Amino acid sequence: MRMLMKSNNPNILIVDDKLENLITLERLLEHFDVDLIRASSGKEALAHLLDNDFALVLLDVKMPDMDGYEVAELMRGNSRTKQIPIIFVTAESRGDALIFKGYEAGAVDYLLKPLNASIFRSKVGVFVDLYNQKHALKLKTLEFDQKLAELEELQQQLEETNEQLLMLSTTDGLTSLYNRRKFDDIYLEEWQRASRSQNPISLVMLDIDHFKLYNDTYGHHKGDDCLRTIASALQAMDIRHLDKIARIGGEEFAVILPDTDGDGAMLVAERARIAIENLNIPHETQFSKVTASFGVSSVVPKRELTPKFLMKAVDEALYESKKRGRNGSTLKLLKYGKEQPLAM
């Protein structure tokens, strides 16, 4: 038992206007691990109740100014104190009317003086145990909530890490465009979709003209800057959200154009060619500035064909553009009969 609230023990409020009664209650409660708080009046008791948390109130009935019944009724009318158990301890007559009045006021028990020590301690022990159990449950709940919050935070961090890893696995580190792995995935999905819908799919492939010579002349650092600048120009083009741009090799880029025929793909290629040319990146060894060559191909996929047919065609179209002098585009349309594809 403690008289000062400096521990984590439950608090019990003992209320009586006679000092000798308070001392008697304290002695009866000596073996409990509780902190006892005295109050010699109803007003003092209410002040303690508003400032502290209590496991139990042992309340005398007959006191001057404010009796125990009034204190109990005021406690039940306050959200902070209405759940605190009250045991009336009184020397008043044993009439049933007074006992019932005590219960009506909100008491959980009604003990008559002189107190039977064993019965008194047994009844007090029940409420101390209940308080300790409730307090332990509250601590466990707080601990659980904290662990849950930590798990949710870890889950969020894991999801963010997974998103970052996914982005890193599908994004080209230099240009922030899709990488070759992601390009292959998207291209296969769009090919299958075009095969089902029997709509055209087009590819645009571009290669920076004489880029090895550019690297040898200006250095790899400038070469990386050049690729990043071109990637930004491609990303800034006015194209649909369906169209996907990727860096598929050192100086090679590709654009996947779903639901697009050859004429539409040529427009995209020309727009990209002009955008790169207008960057005016110096390349004095061959041309006055950096340019790119383009291969364009389009097809309506048939069941007997694989995605490699279109890839091969666009690669051949790019080769033709380079043979013609670079900084231009070549279109290769594919028609399919029962035999092999025919370039047009």
Residue 218: burial class (beta carbons within 10 Å; 0-12, 13-18, 19+): middle
Strands ordered across the beta sheet of 86-90: 35-39, 11-15, 56-60, 86-90, 109-112
- Taking a C-beta distance cutoff of 8 angstroms, is the pair 12, 29 a contact? yes
For residue 211, give the nearest of 292, 102, 269 by alpha carbon: 292
For residue 269, give the nearest of 319, 211, 207, 221 by alpha carbon: 207
- Taking a C-beta distance cutoff of 8 angstroms, is the pair 207, 318 a contact? yes
Q: What's the token pair of residue 307?
A: 């995605």
Residue 343: its H or E element: strand 342-343
Residue 11 three-state SS:
strand
Angle between helices 262-277 and 220-235 (to 10 degrees): 130
For residue 102, give the nearest of 115, 113, 87 by alpha carbon: 87
- Measured CA to CA, the distance from residue 90 to residue 100 in angstroms comes to 14
Q: What's the token pair of residue 280?
A: 């005016």
- Measured CA to CA, the distance from residue 118 to residue 185 in angstroms comes to 80
Q: Catalytic residues, which ones?
A: 251
Q: Taking the CB of residue 255, how many other CB atoms lie within 10 A of it?
A: 24
**165 to each of 159, 160, 171, 180, 331, how far by Cα in Å?**
10, 9, 10, 16, 37
